[in-house]
Amino acid sequence: MSWKIIEKEIAKERIEILFDLAKKTFNSNPKLANRYIQLMRKIAMKARVKIPLKYKLFICKKCNSLLIPGKNCRVRIKSEKGTKVTFTCLNCNSIKRYPVVKEKTIKNLIKLS
């Protein structure tokens, strides 16, 4: 294996570790948790690795803080044109919107590809 592949694997492991540390330390020290998130993003950018969606949902794009629903984040479900989930950061008031996709459409997309 080349060193680039090994570097990306190490980066992915460190991203997971830092996110877990951020979640654990958020209640006692939110500034430290936000620092872990900043380090996680730097590692991902340096190694050119995408942050997994399960982690990316809980990171504010504007202020790079960890979003914990009920603590510093508001989560709402809107069904105007299509069903959407909105995350509002209470630190910087930025809004993230994600569409809710039905299982049938996902299965159809998998069959087509």
pLDDT of residue 111: 58
Say whether 37 sits in a helix, a strand or coil: helix
Could you tell me if 85 and 77 are in contact, meaning their C-beta atoms sit under 8 angstroms apart? yes
For 38-75, write each residue's pLDDT tens digit. Answer: 999 999 999 999 999 889 989 999 999 999 998 999 99
Better-scored residue on pLDDT, 104 or 88 = 88
Contacts of 86 (CB under 8 A, 6+ apart): 75, 76, 77, 78, 95, 96, 97, 98
If you average pLDDT over residues 65-91, what whole number do you get? 87
Q: Which two tokens stand for residue 74?
A: 């508001």
Task: Give the list of residues 6+ apart from residue 47 with CB closer than 8 angstroms, or none.
Answer: 7, 8, 10, 11
Give 66 or 80, the one with higher predicted confidence: 66
Q: Name the pTM for this structure.
A: 0.80
On the question of pLDDT at 105 being above 90, the answer is: no
- What the chain holds in terms of domains, given with CATH numbers, is 3-112 (1.20.5.420)
